[in-house]
Amino acid sequence: MKKIFLFASAFVLFATLFLASCSKTEDPAANPSSTDPRARFLANWYIQENSSDFGPSTYYVNIIDSSNASYIMFKYLYGYHTRVGATFNGNNFTIPTQTIEGNIVSGTGTLSNSSRIDMTYLVRTAGSSYDTVRAVLTK
């Protein structure tokens, strides 16, 4: 009886050690995007915005990387087919003043968590008229 108990105990101890040694570890080198600080922004986002000129609207925006590691690019922001560039610092980003499809665009935003961005941007649509847009992007 002691031999069976000793054998069973040794087997349980061996099985526990064996299974614990097989736990999966993630190799950071295997996923290079995890080291890119832009990676947390890059996705297809659902945007709900309120424009001072056009009222509320919803659509999708893609945030993609740029060849410049300091920039992220917005595809389809404000319905533009031209990409809008933004610099980022941590969870905050700035859309520097730029001319997109004949209009001047600028703004700021914050990545609130992994699935939400809050942003405000301005679009000069004609002369000195600005459309102020407040938006929430979600994944």
Which of 1.10.287.130, 2.30.30.190, 3.60.21.10, 2.40.128.420 would CATH assign to domain 37-138? 2.40.128.420
Domain boundaries defined on the chain? 37-138
Give residue 34's pLDDT. Answer: 60
pLDDT reported for residue 2: 52
Q: Give the pTM.
A: 0.72
103 neighbors 124 (Cβ within 8 angstroms): yes
What pLDDT is stored for residue 83 in this prediction?
A: 94
Plot region of 16 (φ>0 → left; ψ -120 to 50 → alpha; else → beta): alpha
pLDDT at 71 over 50: yes
Q: Cα–chain-centroid distance for residue 41?
A: 2
Q: Residue 25 has what pLDDT? A: 46
pLDDT of the residue at 10: 47
d(CA 115, CA 42): 11
Instruction: Report the percent of the chain where pLDDT is more than 90.
Output: 65
